[in-house]
Amino acid sequence: MFESDRFFEALYGDASEGAYDIKLNYLYAEHERIALSFNLIKRPEKCLVCSLTYGLPVVLSRHPIIDIKGMIRKIEQKAGVSVKNWYLGDTSEKSTALHVIPWYIDLT
């Protein structure tokens, strides 16, 4: 899982308050775009729908534990590419147990 407990510890002060685990998922790479997603997977006995996941793209884009800017630097270094722009799409409910936030990375 993607640092979910550290994320919720920083957000709520208690990792057990988190309603989901965060998993980074590869979607595709084509032309000058890489698409990944943050999959929010419901934890047992928790309510993913009740956890306000629609505001998360803004939170994830700035949160120091998620560190998207750091991940961008690693992608550039390891893949030998230059990132022109990146953005998070809107949260989409795939089911009551899975919400997905797409992450698009445009290369130069």
Number of domains in the chain: 1
pLDDT tens for 67-103 read: 899 999 999 999 899 999 999 999 999 999 999 999 9
What pLDDT is recorded for position 19?
82
CATH classification at residue 9: 3.30.1360
Residue 95 belongs to domain spanning: 4-107
What pLDDT is recorded for position 50?
76
- Does the pLDDT value for residue 64 go beyond 90? no
What pLDDT is recorded for position 1?
44
What average pLDDT does range 103-107 have in this prediction? 97
pTM: 0.84
Three-class HEC string of 30-79: ECCEEEEEEEEEECCCCCCHHHCHHHHHHHHHHCCCCCHHHHHHHHHHHH
What pLDDT is recorded for position 72?
95
How confident is residue 54, by pLDDT bands cut at 50, 70 and 90? confident
Mean pLDDT of the chain: 87
